[in-house]
Structure 1
């Protein structure tokens, strides 16, 4: 019965797939040494987003001083954290007695990712101050990538983060949105910025992709039709401890693609929990193989139709992500990507 139910849901999810992220590409995205960009240790700029907006963006649950390591849930392109996580991961962390927070980015994460990163910076600082502990960051698709912008250009937050975990993260851009043609069509800012070879992607990966003291786990699936090639979710440079884990190396028959990898997949769940439960990033050989016998992650009943209400509510925005000339999340339509902020460049502001 469970298998039949999921089979009926897959056509719907496939319609959503192209939207939660937009990212394939290569790893050589920087200028060779990052020389065109800010030094890795240059202090970050003051946040431009007003403090009341930053404060209102963070919703936290649980006791900040007790339980397992605190975790920040960061949403994918086009969705709110409620739509992305309230029906799955939030249930898991609540059951664990873990303090967790969800950060809501304006314009349904369609806007300038440089602005979205300021919300992540504030969330990390706030959670660290409240808990007195280093936190973990868990993100799906763009949500697994944009915290790296915060870590790259605000060095003060690096000691506050213990784990950076991306589920099908868009770390190296995409070639899967042919409708966004510079000067010819219009697209929302976050889509422009996630095209392969964009100025944003080059700056993001400049100098170093990871930083010492932080463990990076990047989960990806060979069935990902949004992040292609799927292994482009991985990271390779810098001083952080890195694990790029293919779900098929844990469960060879894992059937889930981009959207389900970050929302339902029991294999992804097992990999994420391995990273959270051990020192260092996830280790594929150590991951609990009992996940391979499940159809969905704990915290989610695939037979409960109510679980899918947040996803259905987000459907129009999810589909619109792949379309030029359309903006359903309130973000402006632009003919090219937003310019890099002055703090990104070697010359500074």
Structure 2
């Protein structure tokens, strides 16, 4: 990507993060909303707290520095974690095996439910986190504790491209990502390609679980999870959509999905379709 586009994407993200922090200040003061506020109790309007799952090579606070406060400002109790760290000394997640990460995520779901008193959570995932949002309820068997899943560009059927660590690149973690890969490798990378073991486990039999409402959102300009249709789940109870179906000129790429106000409103509408708002088209980071 030319340097001018990288600078533009960085500027867009900075503006979005500043705006989201301002709107989150008011929301966080309320006990029925907040981002990573463990005293938060869900409201009647949004009874399911949100579990936000980051992408490979990223971490929870960085990956959801925009979308987390945005959803909290909508009245949700939203929580994130950094799962799948090869070592706790380095804040890079998602590189260990899918099975190990999914066990950590399941434990976190239980922690959120216990802290909030909620019977169910809704899950929003990005990249590998989106894969985990679909994998966990089926393979680990906790679908009964999940109301909705909103998955941003999951490599559901495997990806032909192995560069999923670009989430870490965008968050400025590349040196740490390289250190993790050099010292510990990346089992998850091998498991998420076409024919990978985690992909095979997920796609054997129906993917969508009874009682869970799924929305899968992808971008036609995604250069990491390819082909783009690999994200979609062609089963009853699943809504599949491209960002460009709503906003044809939005150039958002794979990583940018978590930092795009267009996508943020699509996520909010999927979580609460009864109170859906008109999507105002914006321009997400094209990377």
Distance 1:248 1:287, change over 3 A: farther
Cα RMSD (Å) = 2.8
1:246 equivalent in structure 2: 242
**8 Å CA contact 1:93, 1:100 repeated in 2:** yes
1:190-213 Cα shifts (integer Å, max 9, x gaps): 111111111221111111111111
1:64 to 9, 21, 41: 41
**Distance (whole Å) between structure 2 residues aligned to residue 96 and residue 247 of structure 1:** 20
1:270-309 map, 5 Å: 270-278=265-273, 288-289=278-279, 291-292=280-281, 294-295=282-283
**Distance (whole Å) between structure 2 residues aligned to residue 244 and residue 131 of structure 1:** 31
TM-score by length of 2: 0.72
Greater fraction of residues in helix: 2
1:76 to 49, 55, 65: 55
1:168 equivalent in structure 2: 153
**Distance (whole Å) between structure 2 residues aligned to residue 88 and residue 146 of structure 1:** 20
1:1-349 map, 5 Å: 8-10=7-9, 60-66=37-43, 68=46, 69-85=48-64, 87-105=65-83, 106-107=85-86, 108-129=93-114, 130-155=116-141, 157-177=142-162, 187-237=185-235, 241-261=237-257, 263-278=258-273, 288-289=278-279, 291-292=280-281, 294-295=282-283
**SS of structure 1 residue aligned to 2:124:** strand
C-alpha displacement at 1:6, in angstroms?
6.7
Q: Which runs of 5+ in 1 are unaligned?
A: 14-58, 179-185, 297-301, 303-349
**8 Å CA contact 1:70, 1:131 repeated in 2:** no
Larger Rg: 1
TM-score by length of 1: 0.60
Q: Which runs of 5+ in 2 are unaligned?
A: 13-35, 87-92, 164-183
**Distance (whole Å) between structure 1 residues aligned to residue 41 and residue 82 of structure 2:** 19
**SS of structure 2 residue aligned to 1:109:** coil
User: Which of 1 and 2 has higher RCO (CA within 8 Å, sep 6+)?
Assistant: 1
**8 Å CA contact 1:173, 1:201 repeated in 2:** yes
**8 Å CA contact 1:158, 1:214 repeated in 2:** yes
1:329 equivalent in structure 2: none
**Distance (whole Å) between structure 2 residues aligned to residue 252 and residue 258 of structure 1:** 16
- How many residue pairs get aligned? The number is 230
C-alpha displacement at 1:236, in angstroms?
1.8
**SS of structure 1 residue aligned to 2:129:** helix
**Distance (whole Å) between structure 2 residues aligned to residue 78 and residue 201 of structure 1:** 19
1:53 equivalent in structure 2: none
